[in-house]
Chain A
Amino acid sequence: MASQPERPVLLTGWGRTAPTAARVVRPRTAAQVAHALADAGPRGVLARGLGRSYGDAAQAAGGTVLDCTGLTGPIRLDADRGEVTVPAGASFDRLIAHLLERGYFVPVTPGTRQVTVGGAIAADVHGKNHHADSSLGAHVRSLTLAAPTGEALTLTPDGPDAELFRATLGGMGLTGVITEATLAVLPVETSYMRVDTDRTDSLDATLDLMARTDADYRYTVCWVDLLARGSAMGRGVLTRADHAGLRDLPPALRRAPLRHRAGSPLAAPPWAPPGLLNSWTVGAFNTVYRGAAPRRRRGEAQPIAGFFHPLDAVRDWNRLYGPRGLVQYQFVVPLGAEDTLVRIMEGLSRAGAPSFLTVLKRLGEGTGGHLSFPRPGWTLAVDLPADLPGLGRMLRRFDERLLAADGRLYLAKDGRADAETVHAMYPDLPAWRKVRERVDPDGVLVSDLARRLRLL
């Protein structure tokens, strides 16, 4: 039986901003998940993965949180069908290592390997290939969901309960606990990427280059410098890539083309003084980072880990933001709403927002998940220190701009938006609620995010 410690545990998201206490249990089997759901107290139950959502999505104050990282077991690759069946608690780190060794890759990966399969489906995560391949949900062939009613449901994109399948993609754990999933996999010849890099000198140049050349590559992303002044604001380093074939590799690498070295990460200091990351230190970092990037380079072979997950090289880097933590603001605006994108970037720049992680990307088609974030348009993600003066007010102003431009915020990153704003951004919320009421009639599933945004 899963152990049931009596003392509550304080939980936060990756941003380490708003701790709340919950009883944490660690189920190891689907049966133990079902038992924990049946055992729910008045403050509800919620699944948690590796806690890489930034805000309050994976915490449930006063309730029971199921640490789903115990849901492990064998990973089963079916090469004939081009799919893999994984327990929901497996990390992408483990899954990617397993697949690469056998000449396959995950269909979508977020910017860190330290997420669980369940958490990734619950947020319907997107990667650098969204414009070409959509988000993870488009590649989920089936999933097993432990519903609060005690049933174990097998859901597929066009099976009898396709509605519940859709509600679960991006459903932030509020439709049930995912215990296993089958994902389509991508055959690869090597564990390297063939990368083209370009440095741009202005925001216009950045947007223009992305709009013109995205379609030529499977993976694209742009790191942008918001602290640069004047016309240099929004200059960036654009990287675009495809999986490298055997012939793309220099001879030295061809001998072990599928070698994957995730490496053990360097640890950030456990304690950082408040204000370590300010507009001076981050401005200097940006200048150095950009300067280190080539103005133009073609066909460079980069290991998968370095290309997709550079931040995984430093463990606990979120602690660099000090005791008050960090907020990530990520939104998407439709194509054609570049004006809103530019205005928000200018606002961040004017505020001297010390973001050393500012990422711009074009998104393609969504998956139909009711609460799934991605939709065609531009998405910007910025990391900001939570104690930046006036941060709350500034972000509320940005929210208003987003609403006017039919944009939306990413729930997996949010910890501060208000309910009305998010309701307006997700028009499928009422339909999602109907599905949810059917699977969770007693309102067992709940999260701090759901309470704050009145999603239920």
Chain B
Amino acid sequence: MTLRLAGEAGQGVESGGAGFAQALSHGGLWLHTYTEYMSRIRGGLNFFQIRVSDHPLWSHTEGTNILVAFSPEAVRDYGPHIVPGGALLHDEGLKFDHDAVARRGTQLFPMPLTKIAQEVGGNKIMMNTAGLGALAGIIEYPFEFVADVIKKNFKRKGDAVVEGNLKVAAEGYRIAQERYAASFDWKVSPLDARPHRMLINGNQALSVGAIAAGCRFMSGYPMTPASSILEFMASHARKYDIVVKQTEDEIAAICMAIGAGNAGARAMTATSGGGFSLMVEALGLAGMAEVPVVIVEAQRPGPSTGMPTKTEQGDLLFALFASQGEFPRIVLAPGTQEECFHAAARAFNLAEKWQCPVIVMTDFYLTTSMRTLLPSEFPIEHVTIDRGELLTSEQLDRLAGPYLRYKDTPSGISPRALPGHPKAVHQACSDEHDEYGHFEDEDAANRLKMAGKRMRKFRNIVEDLRAPTIYGPERAEVTLMGWGSSYGAMREAVDLLNARGVRANMLHFVDLWPFPEAKAAPLIEAARQLVAVEGNQTGQFAHLVRAMTGRRADRLVLRWDGRPLSPEYILATLEEAKVHA
């Protein structure tokens, strides 16, 4: 079932929702949370929804079983999302069109939330605590789990606040259970098995991956939905020996990371499409000067400022081809929170091994959605750290000839020496250069040699990249194909299709560029009906696949209204197109 809390910014929808999610997670339940907020600090309309189940979840779904509404707009906009037989829980004083809601078959559960907050807690502010208590009462989720989270989360604010909130929540719970539990069909009970699990979103998982990989330097400029990476890294800088720098703009952000990366610190920056646009010239510098740097591109709908707090996968081809000229880069697009962790950890290795920029693409949906995951999905202590062909000072001591920073080698990789060794005085260079790194921006033969060397890397990188993952039965009638954050929606859509008797499977790409053609082409060719599923308007990945393999997707399932792909959306679009009629 899905629970949704909605109200104005500042009404504690997000923090209350996250607390409730913790309470459910501690009961062993599996969650997927999804949040939408307006691009403003106070007022507006926000929601935080929790899908809860007794088995692992991959995606949000459309439809809400119970909506806790703290504002009239929340009822107006989200009331229609309530499923038949579902309920609207609200303060008894909230003004909205009761008849309109009742006409849709929604049950109304008015509660004296403000009154409880005031009379029991002594402060109106606790009304969302009353609401959460009431919510737990209606779904008959044991109060102790809610109480534990209140104790934990309000501890900092002192005993009086903890006591007040506990009393308010308990009163909300008691009244709501008494009045409404019997008429609400959906219940949530803790599971017997309650192993420790993590409740983590994409940006957090990616940051943990970066820390695990030994990221030592991060520079960034705030931009939704990437900012929380910079904030997470800043809050962990002291503990994990990381220099974190907010810069004057995104140009400086990538430039500082390039400076640090070239000097030997594992470095990254994170931004969204607008900031990435500013980074493009320096991206080319990292390509030309062969500097390892990791760039997170957390997409939101463009063009320009677009929809700052909504989601889209519209920057794919931009990320692949941004910058003048041709040079190797690597593009990864994790599909899930756990893949964010692994992609970040891999990105640092790939960047140092191939001495090139690595772009990790996510989007608003993935960065903000949390899932419950077993800690074993985050093997922090077991990540591999591979710095590639990095010469040690002993190797440099023994160096017979001059050190060639851009030595032409069969792999295209020129062994790297960090600045500071007497035998490795060298120049990194943004102009075309010779093997020493000195300007050689005229000579044709040198150009062929050096550009050839760089592109040799590009052709070899693909060996290090992974095939798409396959989910679902072989020899399917329908194959969904996607990349990045659509993984969960596609996977649940595949399950739904198979349950309905349609043999369906999916191909999901994390490693996008260089396109893993040899590994992917046979899988794509084997698809009977190939359906590209993407969160953009033009089917960018379908274009790429067609360019790389010649295979044209038979159908496109696209979404570009700022909302994430969901299993139901995919199914409805397929039905419209009569894909499995």
A in complex with B: no
